[in-house]
A and B are shown apart, each in its own frame.
Chain A
Amino acid sequence: MTAATASVVADRTGAAVAAARRNAWTLGLLGFLVLLLAFTKVINPDYSVAGLQGLAISVVPLALAAVGQAIVVISGGIDLSVSSMMALCAVITASTMEGQSPEFGILVVVGVILLGLVLGAINGGLVVVTRVPDIVVTLAMSFVWAGFALLVLNTPGGKSASWLRDLVLGPILVDFLPKAAVVLLVIVGVIWIPLRRSRLGLSIYAVGSNRLAAFRSGVSVGRTKVAAYALTGLFAALGGLSVVASTGIGDPKPGPYTLQAVAAVVLGGVSLAGGRGGVFGPLVAVVILQLIRTDMTFLNLDTNLAVVVQGVILIGVVMIGSFVQLRRERA
Chain B
Amino acid sequence: MTLTATDLLLEATDISKTYGAVVALRSASLAVRPGEVHALMGANGAGKSTLVKILTGAIRPNGGRIAIRGRERVVHSPAEARRGGLVSVYQEPSLIPDLDLRSNLRLTQTPVEPFRHWVGELGLGNLDLATQARDVPLASLRIVDLARALAIEPDVLMLDEMTAALPANLTERVLEVVGRVRGSDRSVIFISHRMIEIAAVCDRATVLREGETVGVVDVTTGSEERIVELMLGEAVEEVAATGGRGVTPARAIASGPRVSARGLASGSKLEDVSFELYPGEVLGVVALEGQGQDELFDILAGSTRADAGELQVDGAPVVFRHPADAIRAGLVYVPADRAEALLMQRSVKENIALPFTTQLRRWGLVRTGEERRKVDGAIERLQIDTRAQGEVRRLSGGNQQKVTIARWVAGGVRTMLCFDPTRGIDIRTKHQIYVLLRDLAEAGAAVLLYTSELKEVQLACDRAIVIFGGRVVAEIAVEDADEPTLLRAAYNLRSDAVIPELAAAEANAEAASVAGTEGMA
The smallest beta-carbon distance between B395 and chain A, in angstroms, is 13
The closest CB in chain A to the CB of B355 belongs to A217
Chain A residues near B365: list those with CB within 8 A.
Answer: 194, 197-198
Interchain CB contact under 8 A, B303 and A216? yes
Interchain CB contact under 8 A, B327 and A210? no
Chain B residues near A206: list those with CB within 8 A.
Answer: 343, 346, 350, 354, 358
Determine whether B366 belongs to the interface, using a CB cutoff of 8 Å to chain A: yes
Chain A residues near B394: list those with CB within 8 A.
Answer: 329
Determine whether A214 belongs to the interface, using a CB cutoff of 8 Å to chain B: yes
Scan residues 357-399 of chain B and give those whose CB is less than 8 A from a CB of chain A. Answer: 357-360, 362-366, 368, 390, 394
Interchain CB contact under 8 A, A215 and B343? no
Chain B residues near A22: list those with CB within 8 A.
Answer: 390
Interchain CB contact under 8 A, B339 and A218? no
Chain A residues near B323: list those with CB within 8 A.
Answer: 215-218
Determine whether A209 belongs to the interface, using a CB cutoff of 8 Å to chain B: yes
Chain A residues near B362: list those with CB within 8 A.
Answer: 199
Interchain CB contact under 8 A, A202 and B345? no
A214 to B343 alpha-carbon distance, docked (Å) = 8
Interchain CB contact under 8 A, A216 and B341? yes
Interchain CB contact under 8 A, B390 and A197? no
The smallest beta-carbon distance between A149 and chain B, in angstroms, is 31
Residue with the highest number of chain B CB atoms closer than 10 Å, among A18, A197, A200, A210: A210
Chain B residues near A197: list those with CB within 8 A.
Answer: 365-366, 368
A202 to B353 alpha-carbon distance, docked (Å) = 9
Determine whether B333 belongs to the interface, using a CB cutoff of 8 Å to chain A: yes
Scan residues 201-219 of chain A and give those whose CB is less than 8 A from a CB of chain B. Answer: 202-203, 205-206, 209-210, 212-219
The closest CB in chain B to the CB of A277 belongs to B345
Known A-B contacts A197-B368, A199-B362; the reply to A205 vs B357 at CB < 8 A is no
Interchain CB contact under 8 A, B355 and A275? no
* Count of CB-CB pairs between chains A and B under 8 Å: 88
A56 to B366 alpha-carbon distance, docked (Å) = 34
Interchain CB contact under 8 A, B357 and A212? no
How many residues does chain A have at the interface if contact means C-beta atoms less than 8 Å apart?
Answer: 27
The smallest beta-carbon distance between B304 and chain A, in angstroms, is 11
Known A-B contacts A197-B366, A198-B366; the reply to A219 vs B358 at CB < 8 A is yes
Chain B residues near A271: list those with CB within 8 A.
Answer: 345
Scan residues 268-290 of chain A and give those whose CB is less than 8 A from a CB of chain B. Answer: 271, 275-276
Chain B residues near A200: list those with CB within 8 A.
Answer: 363
A329 to B357 alpha-carbon distance, docked (Å) = 30
A275 to B303 alpha-carbon distance, docked (Å) = 22
- Candidates B340, B342, B354; contact of A202 at CB < 8 Å: B354
Determine whether A220 belongs to the interface, using a CB cutoff of 8 Å to chain B: yes
Interchain CB contact under 8 A, B343 and A205? yes
Interchain CB contact under 8 A, B324 and A218? yes
The smallest beta-carbon distance between A208 and chain B, in angstroms, is 9
Determine whether B301 belongs to the interface, using a CB cutoff of 8 Å to chain A: yes
Determine whether B322 belongs to the interface, using a CB cutoff of 8 Å to chain A: yes
Interchain CB contact under 8 A, B368 and A216? no
Determine whether B407 belongs to the interface, using a CB cutoff of 8 Å to chain A: yes
Known A-B contacts A218-B327, A275-B346; the reply to A202 vs B368 at CB < 8 A is no
A219 to B361 alpha-carbon distance, docked (Å) = 9
Interchain CB contact under 8 A, B366 and A217? no
- Candidates A202, A209, A275; contact of B358 at CB < 8 Å: A202
Determine whether B344 belongs to the interface, using a CB cutoff of 8 Å to chain A: yes
The closest CB in chain B to the CB of A203 belongs to B358
Scan residues 309-342 of chain B and give those whose CB is less than 8 A from a CB of chain A. Answer: 322-324, 326-328, 333, 335, 339-342
Chain B residues near A21: list those with CB within 8 A.
Answer: 390
The smallest beta-carbon distance between B369 and chain A, in angstroms, is 12
Interchain CB contact under 8 A, A220 and B364? no
A162 to B387 alpha-carbon distance, docked (Å) = 55
Interchain CB contact under 8 A, A209 and B345? yes
Interface residues of chain A, those whose CB is within 8 Å of chain B, are 18, 21-22, 194, 197-200, 202-203, 205-206, 209-210, 212-220, 271, 275-276, 329
**A-B CB contact pairs (8 Å), 12 listed:** A22-B390, A199-B364, A205-B346, A206-B343, A209-B343, A213-B343, A214-B343, A216-B303, A218-B322, A218-B355, A219-B324, A329-B394
4 tightest Cβ-Cβ pairs between the two chains A and B: A218-B324, A209-B343, A217-B355, A218-B327
Interface residues of chain B, those whose CB is within 8 Å of chain A, are 301, 303, 322-324, 326-328, 333, 335, 339-346, 350, 353-355, 357-360, 362-366, 368, 390, 394, 407
Query: 4 other contacts beyond A210-B339, A210-B344, A218-B323, with CB at 8 A cut-off?
Result: A202-B366, A213-B339, A214-B343, A216-B323
